[in-house]
Amino acid sequence: MSDELEKLYQSTYTAVVRFLYRKVWDAERAEDLAQEVFVRALAHRPDKPRAWVFAVAANLARDEARAAVRRKRHLTLLKDDPIAQPTVSPAADDTVEHDEQMASVQEALNTLTPRDREILLLWDAGLSYPEIAAQTGLAVGAVGTTLARARRRLVDAHDRQQKQARDNAAHS
Amino acid sequence: MRHIPEDELHAYLDQGLSRSQCVEIESHLAGCSSCRATRDGIAALRDRTTALLAKLAPPRRFPPAFETLRGQAARRVTSRRRRLRVAAWAASLVAALGLGWTASTMVGPGRATSVATHTMPPVADAPATSIRTGSAEVKPPAPARAVKRAFRDDSIRAAKLAVLDPAPALQLAPVEEPRPDAGEQFDGMWRTVSWDGAQSEAGQSLPHIDGLPVLRVQVQANDQGKRPLMVVAQQLSSGQVIQTIEGPASDVSELLNRRNATSSDGGLSVTISDAAPAADQAMAMQMGDRMLAITGALPSDSLRAMIRRINAEMRSK
């Protein structure tokens, strides 16, 4: 059992971190949570460890999001405080470009409904249709329909943003 | 000719179809250029989605050695066991105290049936028909209505105590063999907590029915960062106990499957002296990855109505 979990850890850890990162948007936090997921898996010894790992990861990310909302209230209070303003340091061009691309995809992803987003991220993490269905409560037959819609919306939203960015650049 | 719907082609490319469905699609594709073009378009869409999502990746770092996590898990299990041992020790101490106290209040053998019987307060409308024979006082059995009322008053008082006192020990200590059907025995690491404590831990409302006395709130010894699995025991005016369970779907269904198993520590159970209810029923409702369940010796229609009400109340909060 422990060996099976170790194999799963080797093969899935990166996918779990990526899955969590796309929810909490903090690389270190995503890693902490991913490790927490596997520590819990070792303690619980689930029957279907792969599906279990992603289900727990989704739960942790949801709790994290709730905590983030609470923290945000504090940040709103601090917003006008000059000390709380982030200092902008000059960054290399490629970093800026990478960050812009990432922000653009993130924005496109945020246009999806939470369910479509969840299913798309689970699929991208490598879960099969039956695993996605079991985790989200969707019928297996509906996973394809949801993915079709989610993919189309993500790509359309991203294309719209790119076009808008080009138009803005042309006008300025 | 019927063309293949887009979602089926997505499922086909994602290998989400059965072998026979794949064969059907492939034979259609072989003779339909329009569907082949659609398939190619969908394949390109899939590739673009993957490429876009690939941009949303954190910087790659080496994962910690699996042994490190194994060590953390082992420490966590050890600390849980230690907590359970302490809880079992405390429960046995409480049970011993409860036994001593019960024995001291016994008038004759065979009178004591449970703690609740002996904590009954004097009831105003019970007929004062004590007969004094020599120095021994013999009370005739109280009428059933009075017993019920007294029991209800007592349970409300006990419930208030349970709310105020983080460890309502005496109410929870079994004096005799706990009846398997009076208050279920749940396996696992449980903590009995105060109402306020449970609320602050849950971060939102607890699963319960407003207006009914709460006998006990149990929280499964859980890892941090996750809304825990909770069981709230409440008493109906008929004396029956219902238990509302809320938590991760897998945990709740596991709990329901083994709810009749005997508790390993045997110390934390509510013993109710009223007539034992008939076979326990359970009803559950899944909401995403969480599950709400209710158990009690009631008709399934009543349980269904209760679970709907709890669900509506929890959603409205």
**A48-89 tens-digit pLDDT:** 899 999 999 999 999 888 877 777 666 665 554 444 444 444
SS3 (DSSP) at B10: helix
Residue B17 tokens read as 């179809």
Whether the pLDDT of residue B123 is over 80: the answer is no
φ and ψ at residue B214, rounded to 5 degrees:
-95, 125
CA-based max dimension of chain B: 107
**Cα B92 from Cα B238, distance rounded (Å):** 30
The pLDDT, as a whole number, for residue B271 is: 33
**Contact across the interface for A42 and B70, Cβ inside 8 Å:** yes
Instruction: Measure in Å the smallest separation between the Cα of B4 and chain A Cα atoms.
Output: 13
Instruction: Measure in Å the smallest separation between the Cα of B245 and chain A Cα atoms.
Output: 18
φ and ψ at residue B235, rounded to 5 degrees:
-115, 130
Max avg pLDDT among A79-83, A100-104, B282-286: A100-104
Instruction: Measure in Å the smallest separation between the Cα of A139 and chain B Cα atoms.
Output: 12
**Cα A146 from Cα A133, distance rounded (Å):** 11
Instruction: Looking at the structure, tell me whether residues B172 and B310 fall in a common domain.
Output: yes
With beta carbons under 8 A apart, name residues in chain A contacting B77. Answer: 43
Whether the pLDDT of residue B317 is over 70: the answer is no
Mean pLDDT lowest among A48-62, A105-119, B48-62, B289-303 = B289-303
Arithmetic mean of pLDDT, B23-37: 95
Whether the pLDDT of residue B104 is over 70: the answer is no
Nearest residue of B to residue A136, measured between CA atoms: B288
The pLDDT, as a whole number, for residue B21 is: 93
Domain membership flag for residue B129: no
The pLDDT, as a whole number, for residue B1 is: 64
* A68, A25 contact by CB (below 8 A): no
The pLDDT, as a whole number, for residue A82 is: 44
Residue indicated by tokens 């689970």: A122
- Which residues is B295 bridged to in the sheet? B243, B282
- Which residues is B248 bridged to in the sheet? B290
Domains of chain A in start order, with CATH, are 1-87 (1.10.1740), 89-172 (1.10.10.10)
A81 against B95, higher pLDDT: B95
Burial of B151 (0-12, 13-18, 19+ CB in 10 A): buried
The pLDDT, as a whole number, for residue A32 is: 92
**B207-255 tens-digit pLDDT:** 888 778 888 888 776 555 566 788 888 888 777 788 888 888 777 777 7
Instruction: Looking at the structure, tell me whether residues B38 and B169 fall in a common domain.
Output: no
**Contact across the interface for B225 and A31, Cβ inside 8 Å:** no
**Contact across the interface for B250 and A52, Cβ inside 8 Å:** yes
Mean pLDDT lowest among A12-26, A86-100, B134-148 = B134-148
Instruction: Looking at the structure, tell me whether residues B18 and B87 fall in a common domain.
Output: no
Mean pLDDT lowest among A101-110, B119-128, B159-168, B262-271 = B262-271
Whether the pLDDT of residue B67 is over 80: the answer is yes
**B139-173 tens-digit pLDDT:** 444 445 544 555 555 555 554 444 444 433 333 33
Instruction: Looking at the structure, tell me whether residues B94 and B167 fall in a common domain.
Output: yes
Domain membership flag for residue B70: no
Identify from A42, A102, A154 which residue to disrupt to test chain B contact, counting B C-beta atoms within 10 A and taking the largest count: A42
CA B15: distance to chain centroid?
38
Instruction: Looking at the structure, tell me whether residues B41 and B176 fall in a common domain.
Output: no
Q: Which domain holds residue B216?
A: 78-98+156-316
φ and ψ at residue A26, rounded to 5 degrees:
-150, 115
**Contact across the interface for B226 and A42, Cβ inside 8 Å:** no
Return the C-alpha torsion angle B107, B112, B114, B120, nearest 10: -40
**Contact across the interface for B77 and A43, Cβ inside 8 Å:** yes
Nearest residue of A to residue B223, measured between CA atoms: A40
Instruction: Looking at the structure, tell me whether residues B84 and B164 fall in a common domain.
Output: yes
| A–B interface: beta-carbon pairs under 8 A | 130
**Among candidate residues B266, B268, B244, the one with its CA nearest the CA of residue B256:** B244
Q: Which long-range contacts (CB under 8 A, 24 or more apart) does B25-29 make?
A: B28/B4, B29/B4
Arithmetic mean of pLDDT, A40-49: 90
Our count of domains for chain B comes to: 2
Instruction: Looking at the structure, tell me whether residues B94 and B242 fall in a common domain.
Output: yes
Compute CA distances B80 → A32, A91, B73, B84, B110, whole Å: 21, 48, 11, 6, 39
Nearest residue of B to residue A118, measured between CA atoms: B288
φ and ψ at residue B157, rounded to 5 degrees:
-60, -45
**Contact across the interface for A148 and B7, Cβ inside 8 Å:** yes
What value does the mean pLDDT of chain A take?
Answer: 85
Whether the pLDDT of residue A150 is over 80: the answer is yes
Mean pLDDT lowest among B2-11, B152-161, B298-307 = B152-161
Strand ranges for chain B from DSSP E: 131-133, 136-138, 190-193, 214-220, 230-235, 241-248, 281-287, 290-296
Arithmetic mean of pLDDT, B78-102: 76
Domain membership flag for residue B199: yes
Inter-axis angle of helices A2-24 and A27-44, to 10 degrees? 150
Domain membership flag for residue B117: no
Domain membership flag for residue B234: yes
Return the C-alpha torsion angle B301, B305, B308, B314, nearest 10: -140
Instruction: Looking at the structure, tell me whether residues B83 and B37 fall in a common domain.
Output: no
A46 against B273, higher pLDDT: A46
Instruction: Looking at the structure, tell me whether residues B23 and B92 fall in a common domain.
Output: no
When pLDDT is cut at 50, 70 and 90, the band that residue B110 belongs to is very low
Instruction: Measure in Å the smallest separation between the Cα of B113 and chain A Cα atoms.
Output: 39
Domain membership flag for residue B301: yes
**Among candidate residues A149, A51, A110, the one with its CA nearest the CA of residue B289:** A51
Instruction: Looking at the structure, tell me whether residues B311 and B164 fall in a common domain.
Output: yes
What value does the mean pLDDT of chain B take?
Answer: 69
Residue indicated by tokens 């849980």: B80
* B223, B76 contact by CB (below 8 A): yes
Instruction: Looking at the structure, tell me whether residues B193 and B270 fall in a common domain.
Output: yes
**Phi/psi zone of residue B110: left (φ > 0), alpha (ψ -120 to 50 degrees), beta?**
left
Whether the pLDDT of residue B131 is over 70: the answer is no
B11 against A80, higher pLDDT: B11
Domain membership flag for residue B59: no
A32 against B150, higher pLDDT: A32
Instruction: Looking at the structure, tell me whether residues B39 and B186 fall in a common domain.
Output: no
Domain membership flag for residue B135: no
